Chains A and B, each alone.
Chain A
Amino acid sequence: MLAFIARRLVFGFATVLGVLLVLFVLFFAVTDPDQVARRAVGERASPETYEAWKRNHGYDKPLLINRTHGAATLARYTDTLLVEHYRRMLSFDFGRSDADDAPIWQRIKEGIGPSLSLTVPLFLLGLVVGIALSLFVAFFRETYIDRSVLVLCMLGMSIASLIYIIGGQYLIGKLLRWFPISGFDPNPAVILRFLAIPVLVGVLAEFGGTVRLYRTVFLEEANRDYVRTARAKGAGEVRVMVAHVLRNALLPILTNVVLAIPFLFIGSILFESFFGIPGLGALTVEAINGNDFSTLRTMVYIGALLFIAGQILTDISYSMADPRVRLGQGVQS
């Protein structure tokens, strides 16, 4: 088990290095630092201002080989953008935003709270609703209930999330006036009012795909031989569903669920900007609109880190939850 975790960690680290390479190619090799500087400082600034800005933001070194150093020195290869990029990212030294010079770490710390306050309730509610509904539908498989829910899911999956958001804002916020259309206030007394529409809309937008997926998992399990055995023992349908099917179906569902956990921290780009929630998603949108490459770079990096962490967590939790993996294949006779 320990060896397994170690292997996963090593592979994860190698993947991180790979991701950093991709980011390097995208943000340094393909984009021109001069252009970035020009966009930040303005067209008419003097060459010294450009150089100063580039130096401050880490764009001043050559990409791969620094010819100002001697041919045989290490510095020729290490005093470059490539190495700098790796060094800083791996030590979580994110520097400053290209757009407004604010330290990026600071912005991240400020953004995590609001992001989590949206993503966590949305995630939990979506999970509960999804599992309950799909279990219910699996129980009534092949009946009208099942078929109508499937149709609903199909329709729901075909609507763009943008439409859900705009529609939700219009209906609940403007027509019914139950909750404010957007905005955010971390004060626990009022925070729920601002989160109501985004959470509701989010769960609604997801539910089509989720219910279909979970229903398939449940039905696959329900068709297995051991379910027939349970019935032959005299178990009732409810017991079969809950004690046998659910327990087995939770394994693949667990994979999905744990994989989603890291993304809770990154926040939802779409939802936060629509609903005015000042989290990490909104930070990313700002970076896009302001051509702020350094922030964007950081957000993508963090996203990848979290995703890799999520995959490792998923592998570990799956191997603990499934007795076939946990206890190995030691066969006794």
Chain B
Amino acid sequence: MSWIGNLVAVALVLGALLLWRRARRSRLWREALTALRRRRPIALTVVGVFVLIALMDTVAWTGGGGAEGVAASKPRSVLDRIFSPETFREKSYSAPFARTEFIGGAALTFPRRHPLGTDLLGDDVLYKTLKGVKVALLIGGLTCLVLIPLALLFGVSSGYFGGRIDDVVFFVMSTLASIPNLLLLIALIMALGKGTLQVCFALGITGWVGLSRITRAETLKLRELEYVQAARALGVSNLKILSQHILPNLAHLVIITFALLFTGLVLSETILSYLGIGLDGSWGRMIDQARNELSRDPIIWWNIAAASTALFVLVLCVNLIADALRDILDPRTLNERK
């Protein structure tokens, strides 16, 4: 079903372009983007590269040159085609850029061609690390896709309409928030299953409460603003008020929270992997499998180093961007610019 992946990739790129154009039309966002570009060029580039790698792993099609037998009938992504994992492998461990096997010392099939070495099954570590990019972005991105609309729905309606709705939503939020996150996550995954969709769903359910609280508080504040009250007095429909006044003013909160959630989600997936309920092909899985390699003598370090470094770089860059965004989108400076 590679066409779903291709469709998603195209949709994402188009969506990003549309958002970009919409943002450029507002002076506020234009200045914010420029400021962000100025302050964090490296972090932005790195994240951009990661997104590119993930896209390379999403666009896939069947057939085509290079593969025989079973492999030819499965869809292979751009990344797969570059690396040809079925053939580009060794028997077992080998150190980065090595010429010989780690155990035994026999000559490698592809001497000096594995920049990050190979793992227990002989798979190229660089390839596995790059495949993990898509998984990481999925964890963060897909989950937020579920989480953010949900949180906004509950938070905004609770803050805007108040009364009964607020009581109910508040109660639901408190109940869910009372269950320690990790435990609830585990319970959900055990109950629903361990597939990608279920894990992302579980992560989404455990994460929406925080954003919901924030948006509820902010909506309460926004509702009392004079121009909102004026709009209501004029009889403007609630939907219009929500979409034109409330939601755009929540955008900065959502963006910052998204960046923070993203890193939190990616980091918690490593714990899930350790517990055996993470996503296939994730860096967490790599780390979990490579855990015991450090106690071997001589030690095998490249597996765990590759996965942890990739993870660290992604999380650090997103953190840096989130930090810069928080300063740029600080309501005080926002109001000055307005």
Contact = CB atoms under 8 A, between A and B. Distances in A.
A adjacent to B, CB under 8 Å: yes
A293 interface: yes
B267 A160 contact: yes
A154 B316 contact: yes
A22 interface: yes
Looking at chain A's contact residues, is the secondary structure mostly helix, strand, loop, or mixed?
Answer: helix
A307 interface: yes
A162 B171 contact: no
Contact of B179 (A160, A174, A307): A307
Contact of B191 (A14, A26, A154, A166): A26
B304 A307 contact: no
Interface centre among B187, B294, B308 (most CB of A within 10 A): B187
B315 interface: yes
B190 interface: yes
Interface string A273-294: 1000000000011001101010
Contact of A18 (B175, B263, B267, B295): B175
A300 B183 CA distance: 6
B192 interface: yes
Interface in A13-35: 14-15, 18-19, 21-23, 26-27, 30-31
Looking at chain B's contact residues, is the secondary structure mostly helix, strand, loop, or mixed?
Answer: helix
Given A14-B171, A22-B175, A303 B180 contact: yes
Interface in B163-201: 171-172, 174-176, 178-180, 182-184, 186-188, 190-192
Interface residues of B, number: 40
Contacts of B267: 160-161
A263 B190 contact: no
Given A23-B187, A30-B191, A288-B275, A15 B295 contact: no
A158 B312 contact: yes
B311 interface: yes
B276 A166 contact: no
Given A170-B294, A307-B178, A296 B308 contact: no
Contacts of B179: 19, 22, 300, 303-304, 307
A175 to B, nearest CB: 10
Contacts of B187: 23, 26-27, 296-297, 300
A308 interface: yes
A242 interface: no
Contacts of B311: 160, 163
Interface in B268-312: 270-271, 274-277, 284, 287-288, 291, 294-295, 304, 308, 311-312
Contacts of B274: 162, 270, 273
B323 interface: yes
B41 to A, nearest CB: 17
A159 B312 contact: yes
Interface range, A side:
35 or more
A30 B202 CA distance: 14
Contacts of A31: 190-191
Contacts of B178: 15, 18-19, 304, 307-308, 311
Interface string B193-222: 000000000000000000000000000000
A240 interface: no
B291 A161 contact: no
Contacts of A308: 178
A157 interface: yes
Nearest to A289: B276
Contacts of B323: 154
B324 to A, nearest CB: 11
A166 B301 CA distance: 12
Contacts of A238: none
B190 A293 contact: yes
Contact of B319 (A11, A154, A266, A284): A154
Contacts of A300: 179-180, 183-184, 186-187
Nearest to B184: A300
A288 B271 contact: no
B304 A30 contact: no
A186 to B, nearest CB: 25
18 contacts: A18-B172, A18-B174, A26-B188, A27-B187, A154-B319, A158-B263, A159-B312, A160-B311, A160-B315, A162-B274, A288-B275, A291-B190, A296-B186, A297-B187, A300-B183, A304-B178, A304-B179, A307-B179
Interface of B: 171-172, 174-176, 178-180, 182-184, 186-188, 190-192, 263, 267, 270-271, 274-277, 284, 287-288, 291, 294-295, 304, 308, 311-312, 315-316, 319-320, 323
